[in-house]
Amino acid sequence: DAGVIQSPRHEVTEMGQEVTLRCKPISGHNSLFWYRQTMMRGLELLIYFNNNVPIDDSGMPEDRFSAKMPNASFSTLKIQPSEPRDSAVYFCASSLTNSPLHFGNGTRLTVT
Amino acid sequence: TQLLEQSPQFLSIQEGENLTVYCNSSSVFSSLQWYRQEPGEGPVLLVTVVTGGEVKKLKRLTFQFGDARKDSSLHITAAQPGDTGLYLCAGEGAGANNLFFGTGTRLTVIP
């Protein structure tokens, strides 16, 4: 079991650039979550999908953020344009419905 | 948003000491989970408690869910350097996949 795989592990970009974060959930899991973690705000849920369909995106901070799940084995979180305040660690997690979450190792994003 | 406050925020102790971490809320949760997160990694689930007053033990770790299902504690006996990490509680609210994470306690165990 390879676990949840996220890429890249680190991303450094300049303000205004587009950033795309990628996630491969555990095979067979039907729910996928995107979280953001900062020292100030802790771990915040941005959006989650069930069976590839976005269910709750109320945590997405603004229209600059978008997420897609084109199939059961891949999801992206895109920020366009990026801003310094978007700097954080972004986690993807997957699960079976109402079962514990399995987190990836995160993408550390730095926007300068 | 259902707020979960953890205390202390930071804790640094010597190897062999005991410690307790608290997770408090004004909201009732159907279950509560505890995670440990190590640097450069994602949180890993330690335990889930479901019933008010429930106590679960995982080796030197003891988890308790409050009778009213609003709070929880994690007690570590004879802490080891390997216990170092960020401990997060997470409460499950009504509805599927409705998990709220606490503010976290960063534990350092000094050899």
Size of interface A-B (CB pairs under 8 A): 44
Tell which B residues from 74 to 93 touch A, by Cβ distance under 8 Å: 88
Residue position matching structure tokens 């997060």: B88
| CA geometry: angle A57, A60, A62, nearest 5 deg | 130
pLDDT tens by residue, chain B, 111 residues: 568 999 999 999 999 999 999 999 998 999 999 999 999 999 999 999 999 999 999 999 999 999 999 999 999 999 999 999 999 999 987 765 678 899 899 999 999
Which of B99, B101, B103, B106 would you mutate first to test chain A, the one with the most A CBs within 10 A?
B99
Rounded CA-CA distance B95/B88 in Å is 21
Which tens digits make up the pLDDT trace of A86-95?
999 999 999 9
